[in-house]
Chains A and B, each alone.
Chain A
Amino acid sequence: MTAEPAKIAKLDAEGLSLRSVSLWQITWRRLFKRKSAILGMVILGILILIAFTAPILAPYDPTLSMLDANPPQNLERRSAPCIHLFGCPADQPQHILGTDGNIRDEFSRLLYGARVSLWIGLSTVTFAIVIGTVLGALGGYFGGWIDNLIMRTMDVLLAFPSLLLAIAIVTVLGPGLTNALLAIGIVSIPAYARVVRASVLSVREMDYVSATRALGGNTFQILFRRILPNALTPLIVQGTLGIATAILDAAALSFLGLGAQPPMAEWGSMLGAERNQVFTAPHLVFYPGLAIMLTVLSFNLLGDGLRDALDPRLAHVS
């Protein structure tokens, strides 16, 4: 019997076909049914595009003061946004979002800031996931005093308000973006360790794990090939939401002068440097903050969407 492709497609659309669909396909499909998740992905996509093409999109060097520009430009500090279409003197160069206190082009700095923020989010969360996974897996698998030691240490880390602990760590290590990233990475470890430990505990005693052991699999194989894949979905959700928190915390540290140092184009430090000028040059505070908000929002929306899409309780509604 030859199945007609059109008929199969119709059955597919109604969810009646018996063709196997992988978890990722289901997730992907469900993700695209949620408007908020789509919005998150669109914003994130634009940000990633901006981050990659910043050198092409940016009209000026983000760290170049217009005083040093060639030819030198006749601009004041913190000039208001100037767009030729909206009545900016034609002899003046165009600064779409104005210039900052060091007469650098705010728009270019904003574009380059996307690189820093995405890098901050990805690097801290990767660091925290790797360490948290190892700690959580060890604790959950071996139990006993190892588990106790690891989880009580995590409890202590959780006992501090995260931003405050990050501040304390950076104060000791010294200000700077690398140290700020390390601090944020450290304070986010407990969340991942707990997630991984919980999934390890839930499958540790299952028959298929015992079967692998009986077949002669070593601890490493059991842990990484059989047990840890179960922790993947909660880790993805936690990680996406964690990126949002990490970016927000890093921006806060930079705002306080503990993170990215000048002249780096980082949104938090751009905002911090101009915060006393909020009444005279509000654009220098508004745009970096808006950029932070949109970035964090995109990860939050995507994380929420992923949580719903990966929820096995909703598995039949694909």
Chain B
Amino acid sequence: MTTYILRRLLLSIPVLFGILFATFALSRLIPGDPCRAMLGEKATDAVCNEFISRHGLDKPIPVQFGVYVNEIVHGDFGRSFRFSKPVTDLLMERLPITVELAFSALLVSILVGIPLGVISAVRHNSWLDVLTMLWANIGVSMPVFWLGLMLAYIFALTLKDTPFQLPPSGRLSPGVLTTPFYEVWGLPLSHGFFFTVADFIGRMNILNSVLSANWETLGDAIKHLILPAVALGTIPMALIARMARSAMLEVLGQDYIRTARAKGLTRNVVIMKHAFRNALLPLVTVIGLSLGGLLGGAVLTETVFNLSGVGRILYDAITARDYGIVQAFTVVIAVFFVVLNLLVDISYAYLDPRIRLD
């Protein structure tokens, strides 16, 4: 297992390097003057000369790439001219919101998708199966932003003044306050590594209100997160349901399932203990692969629901042509994605010992 993890880690180094190279190449393809592209049209010549020499833009391309890699490895993504603060700070502020959204969406898709798939496999060719598969096909075909807008319309306007009313935008209702959990606990944190970690967690409203035992805020935060999570989670949910169904169908056709039934085990025990466990493996792959889609879809979902996460800031940066942010976020999300895929592969190897020997 250790050798497998090590080898897998080593294999991802060229990919990470490639990501850096690709984003570097993209940033050099920006038409026109890189300084004014990064700092805005109004940058003066003096500022530009300083910018160019500081980032080594007057040096040969390989040297520039070296400087770029060095800056990124040290967590320096430059400054955003639009927000006039370091991009790294912006990232640390916004990333928790996107992570919270992506994981809620993933949770929704797993909790709904797996049971749907398993049930439709067990009741193969029943009306429930047909309906689930139809829904799964529609689910993967819906544009995330359209689904989001329609959900907002239905739950915020049509169902207004009913118990099902849900807020169409934002993360908390006006007036609902959230205090970082480390302040509630009385931890004297103001800077340093632990502060960064605590601050990151503290910005995830749900986790933070659980940690600080603030139940009113928790309820409000969950209410605000339902619609975005459902909108974002629908495509992975459909994929998971389809995969769960076909994996279950394959396993249920095996001889050992018949043997288990013949031994006198109940149907439910056979389905859950013998079949489902073996159908889990392909599901892990689908779940891992949907994470990339979730991160891409987060841009759209956050734009629709006005959540100030990475996706939303990316959208703002695109419209303002704030290339620094676009570049930094692309790198960070790609690296995040590579790490997630690595974890998926490792869990796959853990679940199926045959893979380690390849």
Residues in A lying within 8 Å of B, measured CB to CB: 36, 152-153, 155-157, 159-165, 167-169, 171-174, 244, 248, 251-252, 255-258, 268, 271-272, 275, 278-279, 282, 285-286, 288-290, 292-294, 296-297, 300-301, 304
- Are A167 and B314 closer than 8 Å at their CB atoms? yes
In the bound complex, residues from chain B placing their C-beta under 8 Å from that of A159 are 15, 18-19, 334, 337-338, 341
| CB closest chain-A residue, reference B158 | A282
Q: Which residues of A contact B300 (CB under 8 A)?
A: 163, 252, 255-256
Across the interface, B18 reaches (CB within 8 A) one of A153, A258, A289, namely A153
Q: Which 8 pairs from chain A and chain B are nearest by CB?
A: A289-B146, A156-B18, A163-B296, A161-B296, A297-B141, A296-B141, A161-B292, A168-B330
When distances are taken between beta carbons in the complex, the residues of chain B under 8 Å from A164 are: 295-296, 299, 330, 333-334
Q: A167-B299, A248-B143, A297-B137 are in contact. Are A162 and B318 (CB under 8 A)?
A: no
CA distance A278 to B304 in the complex (A): 11
Q: Interface readout for B19-42 with A: 1 if CB under 8 Å, 0 if not?
A: 101110011011100000000000
Chain A residue numbers with a CB within 8 Å of B304 are 275
Known: A171-B323, A289-B143, A290-B146. 18 other contacts (CB 8 A): A161-B296, A164-B330, A165-B334, A169-B26, A172-B26, A174-B31, A248-B143, A255-B145, A272-B145, A278-B152, A279-B153, A279-B157, A282-B153, A289-B146, A289-B147, A293-B141, A300-B137, A304-B137
CA distance A156 to B14 in the complex (A): 9
Cβ of B323: which chain A residues have Cβ within 8 Å of it?
A: 171-172
In the bound complex, residues from chain B placing their C-beta under 8 Å from that of A257 are: 318-319
Grouping DSSP codes into helix (H, G, I), strand (E, B) and loop, the B interface class, with mixed when no group exceeds half, is helix
Interfacial chain B residues near A275, Cβ < 8 Å: 145, 149, 304
User: Which residues of B (292-317) have their CB < 8 Å from a CB of A?
Assistant: 292-293, 295-297, 299-300, 303-304, 314-315
Cβ of B344 to closest chain A Cβ, rounded Å? 13
Chain B interface (Cβ < 8 Å from any Cβ of A) = 14-15, 18-19, 21-23, 26-27, 29-31, 133, 137-138, 140-147, 149-150, 152-153, 156-157, 292-293, 295-297, 299-300, 303-304, 314-315, 318-319, 321, 323, 326-327, 330, 333-334, 337-338, 341
Nearest A residue (CB) for B242: A304
**A–B complex contacts, Cβ < 8 Å, 10 sampled:** A155-B14, A160-B22, A160-B333, A161-B295, A165-B334, A167-B314, A278-B153, A285-B150, A289-B145, A293-B138
Q: How far is the CA of A155 from the CA of B22 in the complex (A)?
A: 12
> Is there an interface contact between B30 and A172, defined as CB atoms closer than 8 Å?
yes
Contacting pair A156 B15 (CB below 8 A): yes
**When the two chains form their complex, are residues B26 and A300 in contact, meaning their CB atoms are under 8 A apart?**
no
Q: Give the Cβ gap from B178 to chain A, nearest Cβ, in Å.
A: 27
Q: How far is the CA of A262 from the CA of B318 in the complex (A)?
A: 17
Contacts of A252 in B (CB 8 A): 143-145, 300
Contact between B150 and A286, CB atoms less than 8 A apart: yes
- Residue pair A258, B145 in contact (C-beta under 8 Å): no
